Structure 1
Amino acid sequence: MGMEVDDPFVGFVDYAISVLSPPDEDEDEDANKPPWSWAWGRIIKTCRAYSSGVTPAILLSELSQAWAENQRGGGYYYSQKKKKTKRPDQLQKNRVKLPNTVTIDTIYDKNFLSFTTLLQVVILDVFLLPGTNFYMLTLGDFWSSNTIDLYLHRRFYDLADLKNGILKKGRELLLTGCYLRTTTRGSGRHLRLLPTEYLLIILDEDEDDDAMLLAAQFCSDSLASVSVDEGVSYSLYARIESIGSLEIQGSLQKKQITLVDNDNFRIKFLLWGDQVVLANCFSVGSWLALDQPFVSSCMESEEICLEYGSVTQLYIVPFIRHEEQVSVASTQGSKKLTTAADSSQGPKVSQVTLPCDSRGAIDFSNYPFRLFVADLRDKMSNISIYGVVTDIKKPNIPESSSTRFSLRVEDPTGGIWANLHFVKSWSLGKISIGHTVYIAGLTCAAITKCQSIEVSWDEKDGGCLFVNLSCLPALLNSSCLHKASTLSDLSANTHVCRIWLDQIEHCDVSLRYFHTSCGHIATQNSGFECNFCGCDCNDDIVPGFHLKVTIADDTGKVLAWCTGHTAAELLQISPDEFFNLPEEEQMMYPSSLEHERFIVALVNSKQGTVVEEDDVSIWEITQALKSD
């Protein structure tokens, strides 16, 4: 089962990208397009903000503003374009652009700076504040015309000597945990950053001075030699292998960074409380130099750990992203991902340069075209898929039955299993067979034993966008994102139809209990258990309707079913109000809805739902809105 080629939602995404990147004879057309997944994400964000519906003008306005900020803020494709006009000695290393990064121009525009925000800056000047012994740094970044001054924290004064300090002009830094101070100078506004303890010095192994510093100071101690002996200090050098998710222990925040050295010895670097913002400066694959870390042992396991102590200094050698060229063949106006072997086929082949991560996987988050199932290969990361859910499975392993789910998603070129792993249980809202979904942030891998490809995502890693378009509230009132259908046109897609309720005397209304987190029916035995998640949900259920009803338009009639909020919208009454009516009035109530008109979203659930019932229609109403 594949989706229709002329999908209106996909069509608008492509149209928006063409508006944001008009053809330029002097530029590579493909290299300067907004990423397809970026455009999708912004459209979804706008639809969620305007849940009552959007227009092309609203969407294009939001997209234009966001794309302008992306370019000014040094987005990946913008930086590729800017490289063409910079001298070689001005080029920034092709490093990972870390999340939460803001530019100095953005700080001036918004007059605001979050404590968790990251600044990737370069020192333009170091000086003492006149009449004091306070060190000041004048900072710039690679994308801003403004500069900003930083009051240097005293823990870094030993590094800021005006003659021999490592904090000198041209040195790159990572800053986080900053507060903003606004002052007036003459008739203008002047911003300064207050002292922060969370500063990392960027080193470059290709620079002689930095290479000598690393060799002289950080190569004598190994991770295996670390102990809790008092009076012993260490200078350590190790690669960041993984960055754990945020943990809460009582009222204290905690993050765990796993470091590994050249001897393959591992040690944990713990961040506590406000220190967790330092993790914003880290990226997997980068090398961290720790001067005088605090050494502790975990009370539970007596395992040796490192911490960010009061005299600890951190240096980082960022992971340098290698790039790989991907061939894109143009065939009859469409784009298709190709390999080098078949890139000569077709009338036009262009090259798109994409970065690789520390494991050698190509990062497709900035790929300017839609990826189809047939395009997917081993070692592709941050990919997105768009299609119809045709099957849902859960493993037969008791301890993972509520945390692991597999969705079979199909598009016009084929189907693929998407494996989703949750920390506790399903947390992405209602999903059923027949629903149209968009999933971004997936990793692609080859399964050797069956010679197939699968995609996966782990909630603790973050970065995933999951959208169920069949249940997106803005869809019904956004004519630019759907094509009005009739009941005689129904197929595998999500269809938006204008209908009325018919043969209401034959409708079937029953009361069920639903798991709030996923929207599916919960069965009551000794307690409530969700039929979809498989988890106990006694404290997370709500009563709701299960409704079977005939709907009609000028082209025909269809028996359909729906649950929860959608059923309440069609019945125009809440479950509590309905079941508080006398039994006779409950029987009479549906007849008052004969010929009531609605806009509905319909999907084909012919392969069954998670809650199987023999007499349920194949058509599910996922949304309904009263129509005049």
Structure 2
Amino acid sequence: MATSPISGILSPPPSSEHEDPFLGFVEYARSTLASTSGNGGGESMETAHGGDQPPWSWAVSRILKTCVAYPSGVTAAILLSDLFQAWNEQHKYLTSKRKPEVLDLLKKRPRRARLPNTVTIDSIHEKNFISPSSVIEAIILDEFLLPGTNIYMLSLGDLWSFCTIDLYLHRRYYDYVGPNGILKKGREIFLTGCSLRTATEGSGKSRLLPTEYIVILLDEDEDEDAMLLGAQFCTYSFSSISPIDLKNCTFYSFYARIESINSLENLGNIQRKLITLIDNEGSKMKFLLWGEQILLANLFSVGSMLALDTPFISNFVTNEREESEELCLEYGSATQIYLVPVIQQEEQVVLSSTQMRTQEIKSSQVSLPRDSHGAIDFSKYPFRMYVIDLGDKISGVSLYGMVTSLSRQRTKASETIYHLDVEDESGCIAIKLHFVGSWSLTRAGIGHRVYISGLTCSMNSQKILEVSWFEKEPGSSFVNLSCLPAFLNSSCLHRLSCLSDISDQTDRTHICQVHLDQVEHFNIQVLLCHSVCSEPVNQRSDGLYHCKFCECDCDYDKCTYTFQLQISVTDESGKVYAWCVGQTASELLQISPEEFLELPEDERAMYLYTLQEESFMVAMVYCKITGDKHNNTSDGSFPDWEITRAQKVD
């Protein structure tokens, strides 16, 4: 493992008065990595902008991931060390001096995108661990029988590693090895669902245990592969499936393009993935994965061609466990999967005027990949994107901004979509948040500062730009920085504000050290809230409770008690009247709602009196509603400031 040369750096230079401290640290971290990594004598980074900095969204995502992992706070040294190790591994992937043997095998391979969960063989050896959901994009360097046994082994390498690793081949693939087998030297495979047999004394080296989930890669330009596809997969189309042939146990093979990959609602405790396939006649068919089989979806990418040999054909099961008349494909005990990966196309993208003004760059454009739907993938765009930069047919976008509105869209029962308006320095945009089930994110409100990645943009039929976010899509994340616990104790990511100064800067989250002023009993409400979203519910005449935010009815056991509090906080410079809810209010009152309700009336007043002059570190946002903006928690009588997070200072 590489040693970080930046571990001795303790803090970034102080930010200017009007600079967002978090954004300042992001740029400081990127420039620090660029100055310490060098180019290793290899290729420059794929962003092709002439520099060696990590992409802006990559740095933000890594910093926030570490903050989530360390809720008690992080230091600059911790963040920089984590970033360096992650960037070193990624940079090695981009600049590694690959094994000549692997290069020879892959010198004709078309360029394609790396799968999201891919790990390198080197990293498996370094960590002595592999997660079942990890993907290995491997090349077979050798296939052999263990001496004195009938156990087949594959020796694997990859494009980014110096080391190799041996795999115990699962017996369902034994028909594919041998003199005439397709699993031979030079063949590429994807595999997932792996476990590691670690090296012990006398065993020599670590090996991968058998996995059922292997996909064999084909190349249509190779004669052998083209003959296999033509002979085995061009006989049937989806429309040719016959009920009579199904009864006679006819074995089908199909060749189709992956149109979409989506998660379905669980059936009981069983997870499901739905891969929508479209054949060369334009017919569509569902390919359903159940339980542990969903790991296979890690090996697929939209736009790739899937060759399915002997899939199981059944009736599609609805959410109500009832079989429909619609047929679908499933991964059965005799099924074999081949894949022709989508070739990554690139397009030159001109940098926006914002980037041209704020970045030191050597070129006015960058090369970015284009996906199978014709959308340009901005996940590796080197700089921060703003609302003004959004346009038609782009994906992988990340935005950092302030919430100005949030509400649920009225849709059919099978969909859960929320409208979130986010504003940055360049403008405001409405984002459609698509959830597999119900709302699953932390609370978000007016004035909260959020980071959203994995956005897709397209023009609708009215030529209006639509921006969408899908909960389970690879690369999708949503982080509410205003409610992130680590921010209160991470001095490298914020700058302490005085209460007298915050009224001049209402476009950001302020971290302040304050004392509680007099806590009035009449300013405390204990509300029943929906457990899913933490928003208040109202009881109906029939006894059920209704959540306005989720627009659904729920039972009492799906609700929980929470505080809604209005309170004055002070410091040496002034006083601010604010409100808060949930865990934040409980932290300020130092008691749970249930415990508070159990206190007699006179004891409640005495208890509240003891809280005066308690000191807290708090996060505060300006949440005043203007125009027709909707705040799901606040009404017009609430103070202009919300305390989104609080922690007692001893």
- Structure 2-normalised TM-score? 0.85
Q: Which residue of 2 aligns with 1:17?
A: 30
Q: How much has 1:97 moved relative to structure 2?
A: 1.7
CA contact (8 A) 2:407 2:549 kept: no
For the Cα contact (< 8 Å) 1:331–1:347, is it kept in 2? no
Match of 1:264 in 2: 282
Number of the residue aligned with 1:357? 371
Task: Report which stretch shifted further, 617-626 or 250-259.
Answer: 250-259
Higher mean C-alpha deviation, range 467-476 or range 113-122: 113-122
**Structure 1 residues 393 and 230: CA distance shift in structure 2, 3 A:** same
Q: Given the alignment of the two structures, is residue 55 of structure 1 paired with residue 64 of structure 2, yes or no?
A: no
Matched, 1:288 2:309: no
Deviates more, 1:597-606 or 1:519-528: 519-528
2:599 matched to which residue of 1?
581
Change (3 A) 1:329 1:583: closer
CA contact (8 A) 1:136 1:152 kept: yes
How far 1:252 moved relative to its partner?
4.9
Q: Tell me the SS of whatever aligns to 1:244.
A: strand
Distance across 1 between alignment mates of 2:151 and 2:520: 83
Q: Residue 144 of structure 1 corresponds to which residue in structure 2?
A: 161
Q: Which runs of 5+ in 2 are unaligned?
A: 1-16, 318-322
Distance 1:398 1:93 in 2: 43
Within a 5 Å distance, the mapping from 1:595-610 to structure 2 comes to 595-607=613-625, 609-610=631-632
Distance 1:219 1:329, change over 3 A: same
Residue number in structure 1 paired with 2:5 = none
- 1:619 matched to 2:636? The reply is no
2:8 alignment counterpart: none
Partner of residue 469, structure 2:
457
Question: How far apart are 1:356 and its partner, in Å?
Answer: 1.3
Equivalences for 1:4-43 in 2 at 5 Å?
Answer: 6-22=19-35, 27=44, 30=50, 32-43=52-63
> Does the CA-based 8 Å contact 2:49-2:361 persist in structure 1?
no
- Taking structure 1 as the reference length, what is the TM-score of the superposition? 0.88
Counterpart for residue 366 of structure 1: 380
Partner of 1:408: 421
| Aligned partner (choices 482, 487, 501) of residue 475 of structure 1 | 487
In 2, the alpha carbon distance for the partners of 1:268 and 1:541 equals: 37
The answer to whether 1:501 aligns with 2:516 is yes
What are the ranges of 5 or more consecutive residues in structure 1 without an aligned counterpart? 337-345
| Percent identical residues | 55
Correspondence list, 1:317-332, <5 A: 317-328=340-351
Deviates more, 1:215-224 or 1:140-149: 215-224
- Give, in whole Å, the separation in 2 of the partners of 1:197 and 1:454: 40
Distance in structure 2 (CA, Å) of the matches to 1:88 and 1:277: 27
Distance 1:572 1:86, change over 3 A: same
Compute the displacement of 1:92 (Å).
4.6
Listed as ranges, the matches of 1:242-321 within 5 Å are 242-245=260-263, 248-250=266-268, 252-298=270-316, 300-321=323-344
How far apart, in 2, do the equivalents of 1:494 and 1:21 lie? 29
Deviations 1:284-321 (A, max 9, x none): 11111123333444572333333333333321111111
Indicate whether 1:439 and 2:452 are aligned.
yes
Query: Equivalent residue of 2:557, what SS?
Result: coil
Residues 322-361 of structure 1: CA distance to partner in whole angstroms, max 9, x if unpaired? 111223368798547xxxxxxxxx9963432221111011
Aligned partner letter, 1:435: H
Aligned partner of residue 297 in structure 2, secondary structure:
helix
State how far apart, in whole Å, the 2-side matches of 1:133 and 1:591 are: 79
The one of 92, 107, 110 aligned to 2:124? 107
Q: Which residue does the alignment assign to 2:9?
A: none
Q: 1:5 to 1:223 in 2, by over 3 A?
A: farther
> Is the CA contact (8 Å cut-off) linking 1:175 and 1:200 kept in structure 2?
yes
- Following TM superposition, by how much is the alpha carbon of 1:460 offset from its aligned partner in structure 2, in angstroms? 4.7
What is the distance in 2 between the residues matched to 1:273 and 1:390? 39
Amino acid at match of 1:210: D
Deviation at 1:248, TM superposition (A): 3.9
Please give the alpha-carbon distance, in whole angstroms, between the structure 2 residues aligned to 1:545 and 1:316.
54
In 2: Cα distance, 1:498 partner to 1:367 partner = 37
Moved more, 364-373 or 274-283: 274-283
Q: Which residue does 2:88 correspond to in 1?
A: 68
The answer to which of 376-385 and 99-108 deviates more is 99-108
Whether 2:220 is the aligned partner of 1:205: answer: yes
Secondary structure at the residue paired with 2:591? coil
Q: What is residue 510 of structure 1 aligned with on the other side?
A: 525
Tell me the CA shift for residue 411 of structure 1.
0.5
Amino acid at match of 1:570: L
- 1:556 corresponds to: 574
Q: Structure 1 stretch 560-569 or stretch 347-356: which is displaced more?
A: 347-356
Return the letter of the residue paired with 1:111: N
1:546 to 564, 575, 580: 564
Residue 266 of structure 1 deviates from its aligned partner by: 1.9
Q: How does 1:79-118 map to 2 (within 5 A)?
A: 90=107, 92-118=109-135
Q: Distance in 2 between matches of 1:409 and 1:115?
A: 36
- How many pairs were matched up? 608
8 Å contact kept, 2:315–2:326: yes
Structure 1 residues 301 and 454: CA distance shift in structure 2, 3 A: closer
- Using the alignment, how far apart are the partners of 1:185 and 1:67 within structure 2? 33
Residue 211 of structure 1 and its aligned partner are, at CA, apart by 1.8
CA displacement, residues 44-73 of structure 1 (integer Å, 9 cap, x when unaligned) = 11112221111101111111122223334x
Q: Which amino acid aligns with 2:466?
A: E
